[in-house]
Amino acid sequence: MRINVARRLTHRLSSWRPVNDASVNAFVCIAPPTPSAPDPGLPLNGVSVGLKDMICTTDMPTTSASGMLRDFTSPFDATVVTLLRAAGAHIAGKLNCDEFGMGSLNVHSIHGAVVNPFQAPSVAASVPWTEREKRSAGGSSGGSAAAVAAGLCDAALSTDTGGSTRLPAAYCGVVGLKPSYGLISRHGIVAFADSLDCVGIMAPTIARTKRIFDILNRHDPADPTSASHDSRAAASARAFDSWSSGVPSSLRIGVPAEYFPSELPPRIMSRVRAALARLKELGATLVPVSLPATPYALSAYYVLASAEASSNMARYSGVHYGMHVPAPAGEPPSMTAAAYARTRSVGLGSEVKKRILLGTYSLTADAFDNYFLQAQRVRRLVSEDFARVFRASAHSRDNRDAGMGGEGVDVLIHPSAMRVAPRLGEVDGSDGLDAYVQDVLTVPASLAGLPALSVPLPASGAEGSGDEDECVWPVGASVVGPWGAEEAVLAVGEMLE
Ligand code: GLN
């Protein structure tokens, strides 16, 4: 059921701010009315949750923002959708994204780009929305971040393969959690790169993010990569052992040198510094740490994610489901490579085609050793870097003298993004390289499967020099913890709010 979402949502928004979905373009489909009222005793009763359009639903299409799935409706709900419905949540609708989750700006979508709804109060008061510059909501889960930022739903689910929850959350000024790999079920999530894909959560506050996480954080036998009860219990015991959450004076925060490159704009640097200073005032200990494999993580991510994507995208052949472009009149129907190519040429967008070519190349006999295997090695080095600095990991306990005062740290904090939301006009036709570079701060936690939370930071008094208008745009800080330490990561996030 595809309807004019804009008209339906405008009345709700008009009393609040002059933004409606027509100008934000976050929703691609709004949910049909639910037949029965939910039980008021349920934990998410009354909470409206939007879903990235890569999360399968039986009552709405799941397009993944691709021409290939324009008319696809799943025969089953994703496990996360079943859990949300059972907890009493209202599924608000499906949210725009980059095609199959590939992108950082939400400009690669058959539904069009998502516009960042953020408005600084001073600007909102003086410049009408229609006359304001349009900025990117970030990607690939731009619709999820924009819908939450504009107040179109109470929370949203996203996905995060290399930063797609944290980057748009930072650009739009909302909270975005990428949980540890394997904690939230991927059953019913359209796959991009299986060894990296996670379901993310976006909300205006940490408390609401946690409420949704608590519902979704359970083992799912339908997902072969879902973490077992035992490994979940062991991880939270380790994290508890390491830091009794809520006591800032015993908290050790690692500040990784590699995540504060000289290219970081002063307005971002100053806000993150101010946030760290606040935590220090609360009694936390700031520990400079080094994660030396970080500079190689981005290239490794793009090799591995594209390799897995090239394999996942093979299912969109035009034969089983999704778009099918028939043979031209007069030619017999066939199942040849030419027939697949006909459908795929039309059904897939340019960014997806680029990833398929890159991924297929890295898996060929000629390139395998130099690209795919090297990237796997870098992935291991990135994981080892993290294991060395966290005190909850056995590795760090074996390396007490690793230059960290004899102890590891409980979490790391760093900027979520290298810039504030860019203007849409400047990035629309971007060929990708600049967009790829924006993932540099988010991909390491993805490669290592660690929990990472982007929290919007309040504007500080001294933002550094530069364009006044730029200074008001949201900036996010990321809190990264050891695998399974969501409780600690969210508790530190709350101190930043
Ligand atoms: N921007 C990254 C990419 O394009 C990450 C995407 C994601 O996390 N889904 O691959």
**Cβ atoms of 168 and 137 closer than 8 Å:** yes
State the closest ligand 1 atom to the C-alpha of 159, by its place in the atom list counted from 1.
9
Compute how many other C-beta atoms are within 10 angstroms of the C-beta atom of residue 277.
12
* Residue 191: both structure tokens together: 């796959």
Q: Which residues of 62-81 are buried (b: 16+ CB within 10 A; e: fewer)?
A: bbbbbbbbeebebeebbbbb
Cα–Cα dist 303/224, whole Å: 24
Number of domains forming the structure of the chain: 1
In 175-185, which positions are buried (b, 16+ CB within 10 angstroms) versus exposed (e)? bbbbbbbbbbb
Ligand 1 atom with the shortest distance to the CA of 438: 1
In angstroms, the Cα distances linking 42 to 88, 333, 386, 444 are: 5, 53, 38, 37
DSSP string, 404-437: STTS-BSEEEEES-SSSPPBHHHHTT--SHHHHH
- Residue 79 in domain: yes
Residue located via tokens 């799935």: 69
**Cβ(316)–Cβ(295) under 8 Å?**
no
Question: Which atom of ligand 1 is least distant from the CA of 436?
Answer: 1
Catalytic option among 140, 306, 310, 383: 140
148: CA distance to ligand 1 center in Å?
A: 20
CA torsion, ordered 49, 54, 56, 60, to nearest 10 deg: 70
Instruction: Name the residue at shortest CA distance from atom 5 of ligand 1.
Output: 162
Q: Is residue 153 part of a domain?
A: yes
Contacts of 497 (CB under 8 A, 6+ apart): 205, 206, 455
Which sign, positive or negative, has the C-alpha torsion 447, 453, 455, 460? negative
Dist. CA 78–CA 56, nearest whole Å: 5
For the chain, list residues with pLDDT below 70: 1-21, 240-241, 244-245, 394-406, 428-432, 460-470
User: Has 52 been annotated as catalytic?
Assistant: yes
Residue 300 located in a structural domain = no
Within 210-280, strands assigned E span: 252-256
Q: Is residue 174 within 8 Å of 50, Cβ to Cβ? A: no
Helix (H, G, I), strand (E, B) or coil at 156: strand
**φ and ψ at 122, to 5 degrees?**
-65, -40
Domain extent, residue 138, equals 5-216
If you measure from the C-alpha of residue 350 to the centroid of ligand 1, how many angstroms do you get, rounded to a whole number?
15
User: What's the pLDDT score for residue 430?
Assistant: 58
With contact defined as beta carbons under 8 Å apart, do 298 and 443 qualify?
Answer: yes
Q: Which residues have C-beta within 8 Å of that of residue 55, sequence separation ≥ 6? A: 62, 78, 80, 81, 94, 157, 159, 188, 189, 190, 199
Question: Separation of 225 CA from ligand 1 center, angstroms?
Answer: 20
Contact status, residue 452 vs residue 201, Cβ threshold 8 Å: no
- Identified catalytic residue from 23, 52, 185, 306: 52
Residue 392 token pair: 């909850």
State the distance from the centre of ligand 1 to the C-alpha of 89, rounded, in angstroms.
28
Q: Whose CA is nearest to atom 4 of ligand 1?
A: 103
C-alpha distances out from residue 383 to 97, 136, 238, 332, Å: 29, 31, 18, 53
| ipTM attached to this prediction | 0.98
The DSSP bridge partners found for residue 184 are 217
Catalytic residue from among 66, 164, 245, 362:
164
Residue 479: both structure tokens together? 């809190």
Torsion, Cα 463 467 473 477, to 10 degrees, reads -40
Measured at the CA of 258, the angle between CA 253 and CA 262, to 5 degrees, comes to 115
Ligand 1 atom closest to Cα of residue 101: 9
At a CB cut-off of 8 Å and minimum separation 6, what does 355 contact? 102, 305, 306, 309, 310, 313
Is 158 near ligand 1, meaning CB less than 6 Å away? no
213 lines ligand 1 (CB under 6 A): no
Residues 6+ apart with CB under 8 A from 125: none
Q: Would you call 384 helix, strand, or coil by DSSP?
A: helix
- Expressed in angstroms and rounded, the spacing between residue 172 Cα and the centre of ligand 1 is 17
What are the φ and ψ backbone dihedral angles of 406, each rounded to 5 degrees?
80, 0
Query: How far apart are the C-alpha atoms of 320 and 54, rounded to whole Å?
Result: 18
DSSP β-bridge partners for residue 421? none
C-alpha 146 – ligand 1 centre gap (Å): 17
Q: Ligand 1: which residue has its CA nearest to atom 10?
A: 102
Instruction: Judge if the beta carbon of residue 163 lies within 6 A of ligand 1.
Output: yes
Could you tell me the two tokens for 455?
């929290």
Is the separation of the CB atoms in 410 and 253 below 8 Å? yes
Q: Please tell me the predicted confidence (pLDDT) of residue 472.
A: 86
273 C-alpha to ligand 1 centroid (Å): 27
- Enter the DSSP assignment of 368: I
Known active-site residue 134: no
**Among the listed residues 274, 174, 268, the one whose alpha carbon sits nearest the alpha carbon of residue 471:** 268
CATH of the domain at 134: 3.90.1300.10
Q: Is the CB of 188 under 6 A from ligand 1?
A: no
- pTM, whole model, 2 decimals? 0.92
At residue 11, the pLDDT reads: 31
The three-point CA angle 322-326-332 to 5° equals 140
Q: Is the CB of 164 under 6 A from ligand 1?
A: yes
CB of residue 162 inside a 6 A radius of ligand 1: yes
pLDDT of amino acid 12? 37
Q: What stretch of H or E contains 238?
A: helix 229-242
The reply to whether 308 falls in a domain is no
Q: Which of 195, 308, 439 to mutate to test the pocket of ligand 1 (most atoms within 8 A of CB)?
A: 439
Residue 405 domain-assigned? no
Rg (C-alpha) for the chain, rounded Å, is 22
Given a contact cutoff of 8 angstroms between Cβ atoms, the answer to whether 139 and 104 are in contact is yes
DSSP one-letter code for 33:
P
